[in-house]
Amino acid sequence: MKTAFLFNFAKFIDWPASSFSGPQSPFTICVLGQDPFGNILDDTLLGKIVGIRPLVIRRLKEKNEARSCQMVFVSPSESAHLSEIFASLQRANVLLVGETTGFAASGGTIEFTLDDNHVRFTINTDSVDRSGLKFSSKLLALAKLVHDEGHSKGG
C-alpha cells in the first residue's frame, strides 16, 4: 500500500527542472537506511514512468547521497538521525517521506500514519515550502496538515 502511495505522490507533485541532473535523467525514489519494502517496491514500480521520466529505485547508505534523489523514504532505522538528515537536505528539491512517529512535525515532508487500520498521511507545509516542490491541491486535501512546530492546521 505504501508503495502505491509513493508512486501517487510522484504524480501529484511538480519537481522543478533543476531537481534533475539533465533532461533525460530518471525520476529516482531512494530508500535511506534499513529497507522495509524488500522486493515489493521494485516489483510494483518496475517499468513505471513519472511524467516523461523512467522511475528508478535506489537504496542509500549515506544521507549525503540523498540530494541526487527526487523522493527519499527515510527508514525508521534512521530515526535517531532525522535532524541531521533534514539539515543536509535543506532547500533541496527532495520529497522526504517517513513513517516514524512525529516525522512530519519534526521537519519531514510526508509521514505515513495508521488510522483505524488504514494508511493515511500527514504533510508538513513548512517542509513543502522549503523543498520548492509544488503540491497538487488534491493531494493536500487528502492529508492532515502540520507545521514544523507540530501545531495542526486543517485536515
Question: Which set of grid coordinates corresponds to residue 120?
Answer: 493515511
pTM score of the predicted model: 0.92
Per-residue pLDDT of the chain (155 residues; tens, 9 = 90+): 899 999 999 999 999 999 999 999 999 999 999 999 999 999 999 999 999 999 999 999 899 999 999 999 999 999 999 999 999 998 899 999 999 999 999 999 999 999 888 999 999 999 999 999 999 999 999 999 999 864 444 44
User: What is the tally of structural domains in the chain?
Assistant: 1
Q: What mean pLDDT value characterizes the chain?
A: 92
Q: How far apart are CA 26 and CA 33, in angstroms?
A: 21
Question: The domain containing residue 103 runs over which residues?
Answer: 2-153
Q: Which CATH number characterizes residue 45's domain?
A: 3.40.50
